[in-house]
Chain A
């Protein structure tokens, strides 16, 4: 039973990471029907942006735990968000907007190109910034005292502080998203645009701005996920966005792409499934080498029996 709760905690932590990234796929898809394959790299950029912020702060390693949690971490997160939002808006403007009226395949290929470009850009140029470490292989993520490596014991269950941070970040972001979508003018404009872009224009909604807002919101959450990833795994690398992005995309499809709640649920279900599969499936099929297999088996099962995803993406009833 303890093992079950242990894996549930691990799964929720992993799932929260997926969910934070998955929201970015789903909001962009909901509005422009583009699968932004570069979104995993936006997550990676967020982590590197947070790292760069730490460098600019003078690589503080001896800050006390309260100071680290209340000052250092928020500043790093803000730095990461600024980096990823900037890059996301640039890619939207340069790589996607010119293809807005092109056949669907064109922006998709453009997205794959952006993905490769961003990975290589970080790999080749991050280390060129004076004083920065070479990013050709993984670099250790800054230690945030009070979180990095800290644990809470609850009965026989070990909870990493980084997991608390990750799950907490998802909760805060979900509340923020709900407020944004339901209570702000831009949020309502976003929902209207996803339902019917032409009619949204007739209402006086600037659809270009709504699309930028969607990219920005997704990138902001991805940056937070990037920091959470750094805290949980202790290192970051230019390739970290590939598998995380693929899993998050899976989570978005699982929950029903285009549906924000679906992305959150899909992420959590996927994370818990992976954690449980590696523990409770006997023999070699339960080894951690197989966890990605079970994640995608789950995806295939859901797509076969419930193609619209768990929460059923709203089918756009456009004439």
Chain B
């Protein structure tokens, strides 16, 4: 579904992503692990068209994706819930969701998808007219995911959805990701919480300073010594 070949992305003058190749198959949850500065968010920003490639190619469902402007990438079926959630804080929950559906023209479909987000996250439905900035971190994360869902993406990219959340809230978010997968959405999950991410993932890639160091199935990576030492705090 998504195929990245030798992608190099610069952040300012520094190459933050130094030639990575990976792929995401339809229906999978693929996770990307790595410490701060490994190039995970840069990768997602490049996939969304916010950053240009220095070299390399991105293919999505048989079509070239690099060079396509960001607002057109949403129409192709890729949505991103960015790092730090980046909600429109002064706008209401409802307005945030409407903006998530900006590229769509089917008003009735938008309405039913909005109801679906409220079903998934009842707290958002109850307080739909309140400003997004007034919600707790976990609730804001729900809204960020819900907003990304509103474009009805086939590939949903989530950048550190568990950041700053309590373990219980992290579980809720991870359960939601699993439910989205069951609905047929393909997911690319960037995480620092390796335990949570790998127990969901069909496949995982480990990034370090702009390179993919190794990749394997989620289950195998959970048992991998290198991963356990670096990300799971095991001796």
A residues bordering B, Cβ < 8 Å?
Answer: 185, 188-189, 191-192, 195-196, 198-207, 314, 317, 319
| Residue B155 at the chain A interface, CB threshold 8 Å | no
Residue of A nearest to B133 (CB): A317
Assess the B90–A202 pair: CB atoms within 8 A.
no
Assess the B99–A188 pair: CB atoms within 8 A.
yes
When distances are taken between beta carbons in the complex, the residues of chain B under 8 Å from A195 are: 88-91
CB distance from B193 to the nearest CB of A (A): 20
Per the 8 Å Cβ criterion, residues 74-130 of B in contact with A are 74-75, 79-80, 82, 84, 86, 88-91, 95, 98-100, 102-103
Assess the B98–A204 pair: CB atoms within 8 A.
no
Q: Give the CA-CA distance A319 to B85 in the complex, in Å.
A: 11
When distances are taken between beta carbons in the complex, the residues of chain B under 8 Å from A207 are: 71
| Residue B31 at the chain A interface, CB threshold 8 Å | no
| Residue B70 at the chain A interface, CB threshold 8 Å | yes
Q: Give the CA-CA distance A192 to B86 in the complex, in Å.
A: 11
Partner of A204, one of B75, B84, B91: B75
Q: A185-B102, A189-B102, A192-B99 are in contact. Are A202 and B88 (CB under 8 A)?
A: no
Assess the A202–B75 pair: CB atoms within 8 A.
no
Assess the B50–A203 pair: CB atoms within 8 A.
no
Assess the A202–B91 pair: CB atoms within 8 A.
no
The 6 closest A-B pairs by CB, nearest first: A204-B103, A204-B74, A201-B70, A199-B86, A206-B71, A203-B102
B residues bordering A, Cβ < 8 Å?
Answer: 48-50, 69-72, 74-75, 79-80, 82, 84, 86, 88-91, 95, 98-100, 102-103, 147-148, 151
Assess the A203–B90 pair: CB atoms within 8 A.
no
When distances are taken between beta carbons in the complex, the residues of chain B under 8 Å from A198 are: 50, 82, 86
When distances are taken between beta carbons in the complex, the residues of chain A under 8 Å from B151 are: 203-204
Assess the B95–A188 pair: CB atoms within 8 A.
yes
When distances are taken between beta carbons in the complex, the residues of chain A under 8 Å from B103 are: 203-204
A-B contact pairs, 20 of them (CB 8 A): A188-B95, A189-B102, A191-B91, A192-B99, A195-B88, A198-B82, A199-B82, A200-B99, A201-B49, A201-B50, A201-B70, A202-B50, A202-B70, A202-B86, A203-B103, A203-B151, A204-B72, A204-B151, A206-B69, A206-B71
Partner of A319, one of B72, B74, B84, B99: B84
CB distance from A52 to the nearest CB of B (A): 37
When distances are taken between beta carbons in the complex, the residues of chain A under 8 Å from B72 are: 204
Q: Give the CA-CA distance A203 to B102 in the complex, in Å.
A: 6
When distances are taken between beta carbons in the complex, the residues of chain A under 8 Å from B70 are: 201-202
When distances are taken between beta carbons in the complex, the residues of chain B under 8 Å from A317 are: 89
When distances are taken between beta carbons in the complex, the residues of chain A under 8 Å from B49 are: 201
When distances are taken between beta carbons in the complex, the residues of chain B under 8 Å from A185 are: 102
CB distance from B142 to the nearest CB of A (A): 17
Q: Which of A192, A196, A199, A205 has the most CB of B within 10 A?
A: A199
Residue of B nearest to A185 (CB): B102
CB distance from A293 to the nearest CB of B (A): 37
Q: Give the CA-CA distance A250 to B168 in the complex, in Å.
A: 52
Q: Give the CA-CA distance A199 to B91 in the complex, in Å.
A: 14
Assess the A202–B80 pair: CB atoms within 8 A.
yes
Q: A195-B89, A314-B90 are in contact. Are A202 and B82 (CB under 8 A)?
A: yes
Assess the B71–A204 pair: CB atoms within 8 A.
yes
When distances are taken between beta carbons in the complex, the residues of chain A under 8 Å from B99 are: 188-189, 192, 200, 203, 205
Residue of A nearest to B75 (CB): A204
Q: Give the CA-CA distance A199 to B159 in the complex, in Å.
A: 13
CB distance from B98 to the nearest CB of A (A): 7
Assess the B88–A199 pair: CB atoms within 8 A.
yes
When distances are taken between beta carbons in the complex, the residues of chain B under 8 Å from A196 are: 86, 88
CB distance from A209 to the nearest CB of B (A): 9
Q: Give the CA-CA distance A207 to B69 in the complex, in Å.
A: 10
Q: Which of A204, A317, A319 has the most CB of B within 10 A?
A: A204
When distances are taken between beta carbons in the complex, the residues of chain A under 8 Å from B102 are: 185, 189, 203-205
When distances are taken between beta carbons in the complex, the residues of chain B under 8 Å from A205 are: 71, 99, 102
